[in-house]
Amino acid sequence: MGDLKARGAPSRRFPPAPESVAKARRFVRAALGGAAPDLVDTAQLLVSELVTNVVLHARTEAEVAVRVEDGTVRVRVGDRRPDRGLVPHGCPPYAGTGLGLPLVAGLSSRRGVETGDGGKTVWFELRPEGPPRSPDGWEPAAASCGPGATVTLLDVPAALYAAAQQHRHTLLREVTLAGGAGHDPGVPPEDLAVALDTSRLITASVAAALRREPSGQAIRSLPLSVPPDAEPSVQILRAVLDLAEEEARAGRLLTLPALPRQRLFHQWLFDQVVGQLAGASPTAWTVVPGEPGASPSELVTWDAGQVRASRAPTIAADERNRIIAANGPAADLLGWRPEELVGRPLTTLVPQHLRKRHAAAFTSLLLSGQPRILGRSVPLPALHRDGRLIPVRLFIQPQETADGRTVFVAQLAPRAAVPGAATRPPGRARSVAQREPGRAPAAATGDPGRDADRSALERLSLLADTAAALSNASQLAEGLEEVGRILTHRLADWCAVDLFTENDQVERVSITHRSSRDTWPEEYEGRLPPVSDAARGPLARALRGAGPLLLTGPPSSGQGASPLDAHYLGLFRTMGADSAVVAPLRARRQIIGALTVARRGRDTPFTQEDLPLVHDLVHSLALGVDNLRLHQETRTIAERLQRSLLPRLPEVGYLRLAARYAASSATAQVGGDWYDCFVLPDGDTALVIGDVTGHNLDAAIAMSQLRSMLRGIAVDRQEPPETVLRHLDMANHSLYRESTATCVYAVVKGREDGPWELVHSSAGHPPPLLVDADGRTRYLEDGSGLLLGVEPRTVRPRARDAVPAHSTVLLYTDGLIERRGEHLDDALERLRRHAGALAREPLDVFCDELLIGLGADSDDDIAVLAVRPVPPR
């Protein structure tokens, strides 16, 4: 550093303060007055980055020297810390820190670093012709810590480490600059200095370890060299980061707080350093427990291809709340094409009455780092393109990109199945099976006896595994995806399953390839051309019952006379196959579809010896498909029945009414919860909510009959609620002697301008909740009696309660409140708090927020009915 002036260049020293960066920029511009303007601008940018590094990391005065020789700008920036070597580390373009050295390397024509006894100098040159095409990089500095101890970090996720490191650097930089500018960041200066040094040491150690590891790995185990006495410094770094996080959450820093996973990762990192220095054994990151949204087991590396290949409706959004990926099932569910959704704000799919809530929750996540619905199954409505509300269960999983950004991947499970034989929208049948490490499909082993001498045990194992894949699946698409994975690992290079639909059309419901690198056009998925009389190709023959058919090559061009034959020939040409077997799927004496298994390569073709195995395979496969279809058909009928019995709410001028129904996240979406609302002949409004014991078709049928009987009794007799329930109990007893149910029957009485009262009787049901407009709450516990089905002739109580204007009466089933292992009083208190906080919200928001806040991961069905009297203005 002492030879700067000797070179005859103008130089100036600047103190280790934030304002020195701006002063250095002005000095460079003045000293380079005769240079090309673009070179001056670049020199200013690079000097500001290097002086910032001096202020933050060296914390000594900075000396800047500049000169121009023959149009070339030469700049030197020095500090007085020769022990601080350069620590370049990979940074994405948007990173807030760590870009100084990459900028110098990328924009300069030549660059380097000189270290002497008194200091260290970084120099660079800028030439009018610009930087070379392949700029040489910086020589990274080893982590200098003297005699070091080794700390091993097991299973470090590369993407999460990059994100956590970036956030740590950004927090420390902003706190340092705030303190240097005269603002009190709440961190003692001496502790901040130790934290900066320790953070730099960890970064240098990890960078050195990463250079010794193979590149491209998502998870690595890294041995770090750290000082044996680093424990106090690491604890100080931890404390400084905690204080900085508090400042960020309070909005006193520009930096947002860390997301939960980043905080958990830093806790684990510091614990590993401190613990191992004290003699503890390493603990892998992947086994560290955490809260929903932060657990290591939930961390997944972001891959847009997985979203597109998923059979479940899936949408991904970035930290700017923009949709960055959407698959076909999600687009079909919501009335869009996938490419139309990409780039739109996520609020495109959020109903108007929930957009404010969504914005608040998303902002809260970014500002506080506290997840509310991450990692939980939450019932809420999504907005269809035509304005309809689609009831879904939403499951959001955060993922990390390779460069450290966060992506939010949301799966939307419809809360009522769409009728039809297929389990997903047509045209989205793609499935990609990854090859298991160390395993190759039998067709590619090269073993001369791979098929002809296949043991009986191997054949039985293949048949048993494919049968189990279907029998263990809850959805047909899920089962066929697993079958495809098994077949492409152990029998074929690719396979396809084509099934007849209810209207005798053919749909390709599954197509699976062993290699994830191979893609195929969407024209070979979904609905196929019809099986016409002109179709004579292998697939058409199999769909008519012929086979198994052995193909020793692609179908001949002469077999492409019909659209179906041409389609099948195109599939073979696109996927590639030198041999194949196509066989019909028979169930209950009918052809329900066909299976195609194909191999590439002439060394391992299918032969006649394979046909008995394929025959047994399609027999088992057809039985499993037929059973799953029957199961889904039964469930669909029950779901349609149940949803058809959820009535359209009446329009009552002085009453606001809202209702919600959400099936269990854990059961088959068939249960006995119901609500009803209707206007009685005398003008009063009846409110009903009930729950029949059970979660099956019988419960749904019993619920439908109870609902119909109650409405008929109430409208015909117009008797008090307790009498209506007694008549209902007697009628129910005559139909279902062993069945029990809970129910609330209530009547809202009053003139249009008030006052109003609620008259109700309860048959073992949770009490209605009255929420005043100011947020006060109380349960209407009078009127409680025995549940239906215990003693039909028992005398039931009646309750009368005043209902003030703008207050809300909430009826609900126990799925909203009850949790396994929790006392009922605690559950009711939780409902009081949530409902009270929503007292002033519109009734639709009130109901949706209750489902979002209390209905996530519920093991039971949920029905909610709310009424709010609003006098005319």
Residue 364 shares a structural domain with residue 403: yes
445 pLDDT higher than 50:
no
Q: Are residues 711 and 739 in the same domain?
A: yes
The residue-averaged pLDDT of 676-699 equals 86
User: Alpha-carbon distance 288 to 622, whole Å?
Assistant: 43
Average pLDDT, stretch 317-337? 88
What pLDDT is stored for residue 696 in this prediction?
A: 64
- pLDDT category of residue 367 using cuts at 50, 70 and 90: low
What is the model's pLDDT at position 88? 60
Cα gap 662→820, rounded to integer Å: 18
pLDDT at 371: 61
Give the model's confidence band at 736: pLDDT under 50 very low, under 70 low, under 90 confident, else very high. low
pLDDT at position 212: 74
Does 253 lie in the same domain as 307?
Answer: no
96 close to 170: Cβ distance less than 8 angstroms: yes
Q: How far apart are CA 661 and CA 706, in angstroms?
A: 17
Q: Per-residue confidence at 766, pLDDT binned at 50, 70, 90? A: very high
Residue of 7, 10, 36 lying closest to 24 (CA atoms): 10
289 in the same domain as 308 = no
- In the listed set 95, 126, 157, which residue is the last one of a domain according to the structure? 126
Is pLDDT at 369 greater than 60 in this prediction? no
Indicate if the pLDDT at residue 446 is higher than 60. no
pLDDT at position 97 is: 65
Q: What is the pLDDT of residue 585?
A: 92
Tens of pLDDT, residues 183-195: 777 788 888 888 8
pLDDT at 87: 67
Closest CA to 595 of 523, 516, 511: 511
Q: Last residue of a domain, which of 632, 656, 679?
A: 632
Mean local confidence (pLDDT), 772-795: 90
Does 839 have pLDDT greater than 90? Answer: yes
Confidence of residue 436 (pLDDT cuts 50, 70, 90): very low
Would you state the pLDDT for residue 179? 77
Three-state secondary structure of 759-792: EEEEECCCCCEEECCCCCEEECCCCEECCECCCC
Q: Is the pLDDT of residue 560 over 70?
A: no
Between residues 376 and 89, the one the model is more confident about: 376
Higher pLDDT, 143 or 688: 688
Tens of pLDDT along 490-528? 889 889 999 998 778 888 888 888 765 555 556 777 888
Residue 97 is part of which domain span?
Answer: 5-126
- Based on the domain organization, do 605 and 677 belong to the same domain? no
Task: Report, as an integer, the average pLDDT of 9-31.
Answer: 89
Q: Which of 632, 661, 679 is the last residue of a domain?
A: 632
Question: Of 852, 739, 831, whose CA–CA distance to 779 is shortest?
Answer: 831
| Residue-level pLDDT at 93 | 54
Phi then psi for residue 575, to 5 deg, are -80, -30
What is the mean predicted confidence (pLDDT) over 13-17? 90
Query: CB within 8 A of 414, min separation 6: which ones?
Result: 313, 333, 390, 391, 392
Regarding whether 179 and 284 lie in a shared domain, the answer is yes
CATH classification at residue 480:
3.30.450.40
Q: What was the pLDDT predicted at 164?
A: 84
pLDDT at 411 over 80: yes
Q: Give percent of the chain above pLDDT 70.
A: 81
Question: Omega into 755 within 30° of 0, i.e. cis?
Answer: yes
Average pLDDT over residues 273-284: 90
Q: 221 or 700, which is more confident? A: 221
Query: Could you tell me the CA-to-CA distances from 583 to 470, 528, 598, 612 in Å, in that order?
Result: 18, 17, 12, 11
- Compute φ and ψ for 499, nearest 5 degrees: -125, 145
Average pLDDT over residues 377-390: 86
Residue 93 has which token pair?
């373009």
Q: Does residue 676 have a pLDDT over 60?
A: yes
Query: Looking at residue 737, what is its pLDDT?
Result: 65
- 11-14 and 62-69 strand pairing: antiparallel
Model confidence at 847: pLDDT above 80? yes
| pLDDT above 60: residue 751 | yes
Mean per-residue pLDDT for 205-214? 77
| 289, 316: one domain | no
My answer on whether 337 and 270 are in the same domain is: no
Query: 361 lies in a domain?
Result: yes
* C-alpha distance from residue 244 to each of 258, 286, 293, 451 (Å): 10, 27, 22, 65
Contact status, residue 284 vs residue 155, Cβ threshold 8 Å: yes
Domain presence at residue 133 = no
Query: Which of 686, 750, 751, 756 shows the shortest CA–CA distance to 718?
Result: 686
Q: CATH number, domain at 773? A: 3.60.40.10
Q: Are residues 443 and 406 in the same domain?
A: no
Kindly indicate the confidence band of residue 799, based on its pLDDT and cuts at 50, 70 and 90. very high
CA proximity to 55, closest of 170, 233, 177, 186: 177
Asked if residue 664 and residue 518 are part of one domain, the reply reads: no
Lowest mean pLDDT among 153-157, 451-455, 459-463, 598-602: 451-455
Residue of 760 and 167 predicted with greater confidence: 760
Instruction: Say if residue 438's pLDDT is above 90.
Output: no
C-alpha span between 121 and 62 (Å, rounded): 10
Within a domain: 423: no
Instruction: Note whether 685 and 627 are same-domain residues.
Output: no
Which of the four pLDDT bands, split at 50, 70 and 90, describes residue 404?
A: low
Whether 496 maps to a domain, the answer reads: yes
| Residue 640 domain-assigned (yes or no) | no
719 falls in which pLDDT band (50, 70, 90)? very high
Q: Is the pLDDT confidence value at 417 over 50?
A: no
- Between residues 396 and 593, which one has the greater pLDDT? 593
Considering the domain boundaries, does residue 143 fall inside one?
no
Please give the Cα distance from 759 to 799 (Å, whole number).
6
557, part of any domain: yes
- Predicted pLDDT at 418: 30
Full DSSP string of 164-233: HHHHHHHHHHHHHHHHHTT---SS-HHHHHHHHHHHHHHHHHHHHHHHTSPTT-SEEEEEEEE-TT-HHH
- 27: domain CATH number is 3.30.565.10
pLDDT tens per residue across span 127-167: 887 665 444 455 544 444 445 788 898 888 777 788 888 88
Do 192 and 244 lie in one domain? The reply is yes
pLDDT at 7: 52
Residues in the chain: 873
To which residue do tokens 């994975």 refer? Answer: 485
Furthest-apart CA atoms within the chain: distance in Å:
109
- Average pLDDT (813-834) is 88
For residue 142, tell me if it sits in a domain.
no
Round the average pLDDT of the chain to a whole number and report it.
80
**Segment among 91-105, 231-245, 769-783 with least mean pLDDT:** 91-105
pLDDT at 143: 44
- What is the CATH classification number for the domain harbouring 375? 3.30.450.20
Tell me which range, 80-89, 786-795, 825-834, is most confidently predicted by mean pLDDT: 825-834
Q: What pLDDT, on the 0 to 100 scale, is given for residue 77?
A: 93
Q: Which pLDDT value is given to residue 831?
A: 94
Domains of the chain: total: 5
Mean local confidence (pLDDT), 680-690: 93
Closest C-alpha to 475, from 329, 587, 692? 329
pTM: 0.54
pLDDT at residue 69, as a whole number: 85
Give the range among 43-52, 195-204, 541-550, 728-737 with minimum mean pLDDT. Answer: 728-737
**pLDDT at residue 249, rounded to an integer:** 78
